[in-house]
Structure 1
Amino acid sequence: MKKLKSFGGKNLGGKSMNQLQKIQEEMQKKLQEVEGSFANMEVEVSVGGGAIKIVATADRKVKDIELDEDLLEDGETLKDLLIAGMNELMEKIEKLREEEMAKITQSFLPFGI
């Protein structure tokens, strides 16, 4: 690998600035496509032994909440399970988003960036 030149150098690891700019633009385009696809990726959690089930998309939109009717009589338990379920759901969504974004950035590693 060639030595990297700094500020004003014409060459960065064998890549011209034009090549790096094209790679950056392609990467941005792919990241935007993945971001758009999150609306179609569903994440689901179940808490309280199935008493509450929450479904959302990876773009952080809740689509459905199913709850056991017995929970309606116990507001405190309902509240606790909803909080636990939403927290678990957000963790799953973030993990999915990170994995999908990592696939894109990993695909650009062979270019020497």
Structure 2
Amino acid sequence: SHRLPLPVGFMGGKCDERPSSWKEAELLGWPSPMYDSEEERISVQNGFMRKVYGILCVQLLATVTMCWFVMQTPSINRFVLSNPWLTIISFVTTIALIFALQVYKNQYPTNMQL
């Protein structure tokens, strides 16, 4: 495996600040991604795509499972339908989470905890 040199600002494995784009990374002295071959680049891209779509599938499966559970359990179904504030709280929470993810997108591990 090809090892990249550490960028400027990288001390002991911890980076002072992660750049928000590759243009900014180049200005800070970060190396651009390099691969030994075109096959390696394609392999890395395919691995990334599998990871992203895998996470998406798990999220969709969890959502479908929760919806099915609520629909198939009469007492929970009645509770959800008779309390519209649940929908409002879910909506506000979702918007707040999307906003927080945007604000903390470059701050590890905060972005992973969200």
Greater share of strand: 1
With normalisation by structure 2, the TM-score equals: 0.34
Higher normalized helix content (fraction of residues): 2
TM-score for the superposition, normalised by structure 1: 0.34
